[in-house]
Amino acid sequence: METGVKETAFPVISEITGDVAVSHRSLLSVFSAMITNPLKVIPPEAFHEPLVVTRDGGKLRVFITDPALIHEALTGNAAVLGKGEDTKRGLGPALGEGLLTADGAHWKWQRQSVAQGFRHEKLLAFLPAMIAAAERTRARWLETAPGAELDIGHEMMHTTFDIIVETMMSGQGEIDVEAVERNITRYLEGSGWNFAMGLLKAPAWLPFPGRAGITGSAGYLRSTLSRVVAERRHASEPRQDLLGLLLSAVDPESGRRMSDEQVVDNLLTFVMAGHETTALGLAWTFHLLAGNPEIEARAVAEIEAVTSGTGTLLPDQVARLVYTRQVFQEAMRLYPPAAIIPRVALADFQLGRHTIPAGAAIYVPIYAVHRHASLWEEPERFDPDRFDPERAKGRHRYAYMPFGAGPRTCIGSAFAMLEAVAILAVLLKGFSLRHIDRRGPRPKLHITLRPDRRLRMTAVQRRSSVLRLDGVTKNRKDASEQ
């Protein structure tokens, strides 16, 4: 058979069906999944097979769910897997060629430039700011009428945005949080069409629904952060935050520094990648806890025990919140905020006993890996004890990968875990969140995994915290009356 691929000792994947599940579908069905809910692009076989191949419109797509093969692809073959034109088309208007979208040498020096900002001791120093942001959210909730409706997704976005601006830009600039959040959502919601147009190889100028929103939102976000960058360029004192690192970074090969535009690429990358994902993970966690009161009670008991005697959460207590951390890990198993990792094969490469031809689209569908029938017992069940070290012992490292894997693994994973546990501890200590709607939300992929509609909840103050928080409110009132 003529494959257009050079002969190797290994069978070319498009020729074989033996141990590869082949799923047939039309270009139209993929196109329609892209614009309605790209989660549907994952073939159903990926939830129980190790490797699934589909072809649509002549395009070969390879879905890898076997942990050993994922390791081989994302780590062993990282150099021949690029981010691909579709990712660049979808994210490029906002993120340019920043850390998330760049490839090769341009990616490498950007990653090296910011790596020191994510060292363990640096991250621990961020904990007070993380706790303070969670406390501001708790204070907002205290001021709402009992039983008032909260959009929990929005609340979490607000909290994590607060943290990213405080820690990465030293709180610099008068940024309109609501407008930034609105524009990020509008941008991501238009992304499905943008990817679908890429699928049809439509020229970038061709109109499509939501295109004006994408352009407008990208413009708003970039101009907002351009102002922050310009202000910092003119500031007399350099600062040692992420923005400071970007401004002083030097490419070791060319000796170049980043232009303002490149600094904005990266700052926006960190704002988008660094707050939206954690916020969604937290929103899904509150959703799951509301439906599992016994798990919530166990987490609250741990938080009470760890913080007992101090009233409030202290930075050095966060590491002791082991079960609370497991709750967040399990929520990200069921609802991984970055649900699919896409790549494009830049050259033929070997995967297990097969050769994947150059040009194939490669997907690691984290959502399917995390619910895979052969990797997880009762995959649909919310069970934080799966992450008990004893139970997790024999599990393949790549069976669970909410932060990706290999050299492109999430640079902010430890940051995200710290802030998520701190936020959960502060808010669960004070409140229990209850659903308003009977029908649960469904996951919908807009680059990140969002609930298909607003997660409306009420925050009921815990009896155990009423006295303490009443004290906080009273003190605040006394202070404001003075």
Q: Where do contacts with ligand HEM occur on this chain (CB under 6 A)? A: 99-100, 111, 269-270, 273-274, 277-278, 281, 337-338, 341, 402-404, 408, 410-412, 415-416
Nearer to ligand HEM, 172 or 278 (CB): 278
Inter-residue contact 152 to 436 (CB < 8 Å): no
The least distance separating ligand HEM from the CB of residue 450, rounded to whole angstroms, comes to 13
Residues that constitute the known binding site: 410
Judged by CB, which is closer to ligand HEM: 98, or 190? 98
Nearest distance from residue 134's CB to ligand HEM, in Å?
15
Query: How far apart are CB 175 and ligand HEM at their closest, in Å?
Result: 16
Half-sphere exposure (Cβ direction) of 404: Cα atoms closer than 13 Å: 21
Give the nearer residue to ligand HEM in terms of CB position, either 365 or 402.
402
Burial label, 475 (beta-carbon count in 10 A; 0-12, 13-18, 19+): exposed
DSSP character string of 387-454 = GSHHHHTTS-GGG--TT--GGGS-TTHHHHHHHHHHHHHHHHHHEEEEES-SSPP-EEEESEEEESS-
Nearest distance from C-beta of residue 379 to ligand HEM, angstroms: 19
Q: Find, among 42, 341, 64, 27, the residue nearest to 196 by Cα.
A: 27
Our CB check for ligand HEM shows the closer of 349 and 403 to be: 403
User: In the complex, what is the shortest distance from the CB of residue 349 to ligand HEM, in angstroms, rounded to a whole number?
Assistant: 17
Query: How many whole angstroms separate alpha carbon 130 and alpha carbon 137?
Result: 11
The pair of structure tokens assigned to 149 is: 């409706």
Q: Which is nearer to ligand HEM, 14 or 328 (CB)?
A: 328
* 128/126 Cα distance (integer angstroms): 6
One-letter amino acid of 90: G
Question: C-beta of 463: minimal distance to ligand HEM in Å?
Answer: 31
Q: In the complex, what is the shortest distance from the CB of residue 387 to ligand HEM, in angstroms, rounded to a whole number?
A: 15
**Which CB, 229 or 416, lies closer to ligand HEM?**
416
**Which residue number places its CB atom closest to ligand HEM?**
412
Q: Report phi then psi at 43, rounded to 5.
A: -70, 145
Q: Give how far the C-alpha of residue 451 lies from the chain's centroid of Cα atoms, to the nearest Å.
A: 14
Of 419 and 458, CB closest to ligand HEM: 419
Q: What is the DSSP letter of 351?
A: E
Minimum Å gap between C-beta 49 and ligand HEM is 22
**Cα Rg of the chain (Å, integer):** 23
CB contact at 8 A, 323 and 421 = no
CA 195 to mean position of chain CA atoms: 18
Tell me how far apart the alpha carbons of residues 243 and 164 are, in angstroms, rounded to a whole number.
11
Beta carbon of residue 186, minimum distance to ligand HEM (angstroms, whole number) = 21
Residues tagged in the binding site annotation for heme:
410
Q: Of 201, 192, 198, 429, nearest to 305 (Cα)?
A: 429
User: Residue 405's closest CA among 69, 95, 20, 104?
Assistant: 69
C-beta of 172 vs 277, nearer to ligand HEM? 277
Helices (H), 234-365: 242-248, 260-291, 293-307, 322-334
Which residue lies nearer to ligand HEM by CB, 173 or 213? 173
